[in-house]
C-alpha cells in the first residue's frame, strides 16, 4: 500500500498495532530501523525471538521471566517473610524500580470484577493462599490500585487470609504533588491518615 | 534492572531507542507482546528478520524495497516521462499515499546543506542527471520541503537540468486550513499564486 513492498507493509502493520504506535509512527520507526540495520533492526529481531522463545510466567508468583521460577523468587537475597500482592507484571516492575521492597511478589493477573465476570479462580488467589500456608509468611502487603475493583479485591483477599498480618499501601499526597491539583478523595485520605511531625 | 531477566531488559532497552518510544512505552509494548505472543511477538520478530535480510535501496531511484530495483521502478504501469524528486523515503511514501502521481521517483537522501557539509555528491544528484539523459524524461517535479535547504536544493537541481521541464509543488493554503492559523509566509505565497475562479 505505501510502497509496494509487501514485507515492509507487513512489518509496518504489525508495529502499528503496538500500544502507543500508529501507522505514522510505525513508518517512521521502520525507516529508522532500516537506516540503522546493524545497530537497531537486527539486534531487535534477535531480542524478540529470544524473548518469544523463553518468556513465561513464573510458576510461583506469576511474574514474567525466562525460567519456570523467576529471578526474584529464586533469589537468596529476597526475604521470604513478606509477600507483596500486585495486579499485574507492570505493577511489579514499578515496585521494583522504587527498589525499596526486598521481599517477594504475587501477581494476581487482574482484579475481581463482577462486570467482567472475573472471580477469585480467574486470578491467582488460590495459589496465594497456598503460598501463605507453605511459605513462612509474616506479612502480606496489598499493593493494589486505589480503584473500586482494586479495593474490592483487597478486601476479599484480606478476608481469605485470616491469621496473617495484611497491610496495604498508604494513601495520601504524592511526592511533588500540589494540593491545588489533588482531587477531594486524595485530600480526605491524606487528612484522615495524618501523622504527628 | 526492572525484573532481573536480562533478555527482557535488553529488549526493552532496544525498543526504547526507537523514535516515539521511551522506557515506559517500551515496557508497556513488551508486556503487550508477551501477552499476545503468537499474534504479535513472533510475527513481529519474523517480519523484522525478513526485512533485515532483504531491505535495500533501489539502485535506480533510492527507494527502499526488497530487490535491487524497487517495485515502482520495475512497474510497467508507471509512466517513465515524469520523475518526482523527493528528499527521503518517508516523503516518497507520503506522495504514494496521495495516489495521484503515476510517474517514477528519485530519492535524494537529504538536501544540500552548507552547515552540514552536504554537497551534490553526497546526495543522489549525479544519478538523477544520468537518469534524465538515459530515460526519456519530459518533466522533473521537485517535491522538496519548503525550507531554506529544500529550496536551495531545488534551485541547484533546476540549474543542473537545463533543457528539461522542471516544476515544483504549489505553495498555498493547506486543504482544511484556516487563515487565522497560517503564518505570513504561507499567506503571502497563496496570495501571490492566486487563481481565477
- Judge contact between B57 and B103, C-beta under 8 A: no
Q: What distances in angstroms separate CA B62 from CA A68, B21, B89, B110, B175, one per listed residue?
A: 48, 27, 8, 11, 30
Non-local (6+) Cβ contacts of B46 within 8 A are none
Distances (CA, A) of A112 to A58, A141, B3: 21, 17, 25
Mean pLDDT confidence for B51-76 = 90
pLDDT score, position B16: 93
- Interface touch B70/A5, C-beta < 8 Å: yes
Instruction: Determine the residue among A8, A12, A24 to mutate to test chain B binding: the one whose Cβ has the most chain B Cβ atoms within 10 Å.
Output: A8
Residues 6 or more apart whose CB falls under 8 angstroms from that of A189 comprise A171, A172
Residue B181, min C-alpha distance to chain A (Å) = 24
A44 vs A21: CA distance, rounded Å = 17
Would you call A3 and B75 a contact, using CB atoms and an 8 Å cutoff?
no
Q: What is the pLDDT of residues B2-46, one digit of tens each?
A: 444 788 899 999 999 999 889 999 999 999 999 998 999 999 999
pLDDT of residue B1: 41
Predicted local confidence at residue B32, as pLDDT: 93
Residue A194: per-residue pLDDT: 86
Per-residue pLDDT of chain A (197 residues; tens, 9 = 90+): 444 478 889 999 999 999 988 999 999 999 999 999 899 999 999 999 999 998 999 999 999 988 889 989 999 899 888 999 999 999 999 999 888 999 999 999 999 988 888 888 889 999 999 999 888 899 999 999 888 999 999 999 999 988 899 999 988 888 888 888 888 888 888 888 888 88
Q: Do B47 and A14 touch (CB under 8 A)?
A: yes
pLDDT of residue B91: 92
Residue B22: CB atoms within 10 A of its CB come to 12
Determine whether the interchain pair A34/B55 forms a contact, defined as Cβ–Cβ distance below 8 Å: yes
> What topology is assigned to A3-54 in CATH?
Helicase, Ruva Protein; domain 3 (1.10.8)
Please report the pLDDT score of residue A3 as a whole number: 46
How far is residue B183's CA from residue B171's CA, in Å, rounded to a whole number? Answer: 13
DSSP A113: B
Tell which wins on pLDDT, B1 or B53.
Answer: B53
Name the fold adopted by B64-196: Dna Topoisomerase Vi A Subunit; Chain: A, domain 2 (3.40.1360)
Closest partner residue to A34 (CB to CB) among B14, B64, B71 is B64
| Domain ranges for chain A | 3-54, 64-196
Total residue length of chain B: 197
pLDDT of B182 strictly over 90: no
Closest-CA distance of chain A to residue B180, Å: 27
Contact (Cβ atoms closer than 8 angstroms) between residue A62 and residue A108: yes
CA distance B69 to B62: 9
Among A18, A25, A50, pick the best mutation site for testing chain B contact (most B Cβ within 10 A): A18
CB A30 within 8 A of CB B64: no
Q: Residue A191: CB partners within 8 Å, gap ≥ 6?
A: none
**What average pLDDT does the segment B50-70 reach?**
90
Q: For chain A, give me the number of helices (H) and strands (E)?
A: 8, 6
Q: Which pLDDT band holds residue B133 (cuts at 50, 70, 90)?
A: confident
pLDDT of B139: 92
Residue A165 pairs with which residues in a beta bridge?
Answer: A139
Whether residue A50 and residue B21 make contact (CB cut-off 8 A), yes or no, is no
The verdict on a CB contact (< 8 Å) between A64 and B28 is no
Per CB-CB distance under 8 Å, the chain B contacts of A31 are: 64, 88-90
pLDDT mean over B56-79: 90
Q: What is the ipTM of this complex?
A: 0.81
Which residues on neighbouring strands pair with residue A135, listed in sequence order?
none
For residue A162, give how far its alpha carbon lies from the nearest alpha carbon of chain B (Å). 30
CA dist., res. A27 & res. B20, Å (int): 11
Interchain pair A4, B54: CB under 8 A: no
Q: Please give the helix or strand (H or E) that residue B156 lies within, else none.
A: helix B148-160
Give percent of chain B with pLDDT exceeding 90: 51
pTM over 0.90: no
Amino acid at each position: 500500500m505505501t510502497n509496494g513492498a509487501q514485507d515492509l507493509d507487513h512489518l509496518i502493520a504489525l508495529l502499528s498495532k503496538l500500544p502507543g504506535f500508529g501507522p505514522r509512527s510505525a513508518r517512521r520507526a521502520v525507516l529508522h530501523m532500516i537506516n540503522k540495520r546493524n545497530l537497531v533492526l537486527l539486534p531487535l529481531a534477535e531480542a524478540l525471538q529470544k524473548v518469544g522463545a523463553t518468556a513465561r510466567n513464573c510458576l510461583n508468583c506469576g511474574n514474567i521471566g525466562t525460567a519456570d521460577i523467576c529471578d526474584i523468587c529464586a533469589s537468596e537475597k529476597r526475604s521470604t517473610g513478606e509477600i507483596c500482592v500486585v495486579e499485574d507484571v507492570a505493577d511489579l516492575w514499578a515496585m521494583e524500580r522504587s527498589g525499596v521492597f526486598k521481599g517477594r511478589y504475587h501477581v494476581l493477573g487482574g482484579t475481581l470484577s463482577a462486570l467482567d465476570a472475573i472471580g477469585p479462580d480467574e486470578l491467582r488467589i488460590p495459589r496465594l493462599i497456598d503460598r501463605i500456608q507453605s511459605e513462612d509468611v509474616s506479612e502480606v502487603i496489598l499493593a493494589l490500585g486505589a480503584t473500586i475493583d482494586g479495593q474490592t479485591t483487597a478486601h476479599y483477599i484480606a478476608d481469605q487470609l485470616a491469621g496473617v498480618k495484611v497491610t496495604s499501601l498508604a494513601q495520601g499526597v504524592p511526592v511533588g504533588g500540589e494540593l491545588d491539583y489533588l482531587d477531594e478523595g486524595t485530600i480526605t485520605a491524606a487528612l484522615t491518615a495524618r501523622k504527628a511531625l
